[in-house]
Chains A and B, each alone.
Chain A
Amino acid sequence: MTDLTIDPQASAAERFAVGAVLPAASFPITRKDLVRYAGASGDFNDIHWNGRFAVEVGLPDVIAHGMYTMAVAGRVLTDWVGDPAAVEEYFVRFSKPVVVPDDGVGALLEVTGKVGKALDENRVQVDLTVSSAGQKVLGKATAVVRIR
């Protein structure tokens, strides 16, 4: 696949043009990350840290908080645009759980993004693709990003 990622020296017009590709990123996720996110967010649901409980309720293992996955994937947006406040709207559908085994490795979240459309002179829609273990874990992940 041709790498269309726009280099940082590119003009704003090039960086924000429809079809421009955001720098992709991969994020490892471990149990420790989920525990830290539980503490910071206040979401202590057992399915996000307790393997015994997760299996009891029919999950393969502990799964990441959907909101953690959304937040981590959002870094591709904020790293690209620089100012986190430029992300005016952000939507995701939680389509598949991100399973995080306690095996010393954990999971890997892979995130790509591209400018999907221009909404007005100052805003673009960015479409993200977010996968783990070869499956799309977030559906219709889209953001409205202010570009000037």
Chain B
Amino acid sequence: MALDQSFVGRSYPPTPAYEVGREKIREFADAIGDPNPAYRDQEAAKALGHPDVVAPPTFPIVISMPAADQVVYDPALGLDWSRVVHGDQRFTHERPMRPGDRVVAVVTVEAIKTFAGNDMITLLTEMSTVEGELISTARALLVARAESEEQAS
């Protein structure tokens, strides 16, 4: 089913602030198996020029994915969320996330395409502090697979 092109350019309301936690960063780094001390040890992070420990480059997915759910589950858009797979992902960082950052995400529908029966939607998620400083931008391609295709990611 072709998606409504009028959603292109639409932005969803900012998400409630997510406060980045020191132990959440450590938990995420542990989960990706990365022993880098910059994620855990304040002195190691300071030696690299950071004011505090930093989050791994893909950590902002913790914020951008729930933000994108606003679109995925928007009944007005009508995406078949049971068939949605992740097509691609880009992060662009102004700086790493750090403990104490209070982050709000604004999701914008950047593009909607249909190819071989697959609905493809590109979502741009800008993550900024509550003070208005842009930290990271996530761009995700989500694909609602056509009924006949079986591949997923």
Contact = CB atoms under 8 A, between A and B. Distances in A.
B6 interface: no
A94 B85 contact: yes
Which of B85, B87, B91 has the most chain A CB within a 10 Å cutoff?
Answer: B91
B95 A85 contact: yes
A37 B38 contact: no
B56 A84 contact: yes
A71 B29 CA distance: 9
Interface of B: 24, 27-28, 30-34, 36, 38-39, 48-50, 54, 56-58, 61-62, 65-66, 85-93, 95-96, 150-153
B82 to A, nearest CB: 8
Contacts of A92: 88-89
A76 to B, nearest CB: 11
Given A57-B152, A84-B96, A66 B32 contact: no
Contacts of A67: 58, 61, 65, 86, 89
Interface stretch (A12-20, A40-48, A121-129): A40-48
For the residues of A in contact with B, the DSSP-based class is mixed
Contacts of B65: 41-43, 67
Contacts of A93: 87-88
A88 interface: yes
A66 B48 contact: no
Contact of B153 (A66, A89, A91): A66
Interface residues of A, number: 42
Given A41-B61, A59-B150, A84-B96, 5 more contacts: A79-B36, A84-B56, A85-B38, A94-B87, A139-B88
Given A63-B153, A66-B153, A97-B152, A91 B56 contact: no
Contacts of B88: 91-94, 139-140
B85 A85 contact: no
A32 to B, nearest CB: 11
Which of A66, A85, A87 has the most chain B CB within a 10 Å cutoff?
Answer: A85
